[in-house]
Copies of this chain bind each other. A is one copy, B any other.
Amino acid sequence: MVTINDVANAAGVAPSTVSYVISGKRSISPKTRRLVEESIRKLGYHPHAGARALASSKTNVLALVVPLRTDLNVAVVMQFVASAVTAARAHDHDLLLLTKDEGPAALQRVASSAIADALIVMDVEAADPRVPMLLALDRPVVLIGVPDHPAGLSSIDLDFTAAGSACVAHLARLGHRRIALIGPSPAVYRRGTSYATRFLDGFDDAARRAGVRAISRSCNHSYEAASHTLDDLFAEEPGITGLVVHNEAVLPALLSVLRNRGLTVPGDLSVVAVCPEAMADQHVVALTTVAIPAEEVGKQAVEMVVQRLNGHNTPEVRLLSPRLTERESTAAPHA
Residues of chain A having any CB pair with chain B under 8 Å: 1-2, 44-54, 59, 61, 64, 68-71, 74-75, 77-79, 81-82, 85-86, 89, 94-99, 101-102, 108-110, 112-115, 221-223, 252-253, 255-256, 259-260, 276, 278, 281-284
Tell me the bound Cα distance from A54 to B253 in angstroms.
53
In the complex, which residue of chain B has the Cβ closest to the Cβ of A2? B112
**A74: contacting residue among B53, B69, B75, B223, CB under 8 A:** B75
- Chain B neighbourhood of A89, CB < 8 A: 99, 102
Tell me the bound Cα distance from A75 to B94 in angstroms.
23
- Chain B neighbourhood of A94, CB < 8 A: 96-98, 110, 115
A49-B113, A70-B75 as given contacts; A256 in contact with B253, CB under 8 Å: no
- Chain B neighbourhood of A78, CB < 8 A: 68, 70, 74, 77-78
User: Which 10 A-B residue pairings sit nearest by Cβ, starting from the closest?
Assistant: A50-B53, A46-B112, A252-B252, A68-B82, A50-B54, A46-B113, A50-B50, A49-B113, A95-B97, A49-B115
A49-B113, A252-B252 as given contacts; A97 in contact with B71, CB under 8 Å: no
- Chain B neighbourhood of A283, CB < 8 A: 223, 253, 256
Nearest chain B CB to A73's CB is how many angstroms away?
10
Tell me the bound Cα distance from A226 to B327 in angstroms.
21
**A51: contacting residue among B54, B276, B278, CB under 8 A:** B54
Nearest chain B CB to A262's CB is how many angstroms away?
12
**A253: contacting residue among B44, B81, B282, CB under 8 A:** B282
5 more A-B residue pairs beyond the given contacts A49-B50, A68-B86, A70-B82, with a C-beta to C-beta distance below 8 A: A49-B115, A77-B78, A221-B282, A252-B256, A252-B282
Tell me the bound Cα distance from A282 to B278 in angstroms.
20
**A95: contacting residue among B45, B96, B255, CB under 8 A:** B96
Nearest chain B CB to A39's CB is how many angstroms away?
15
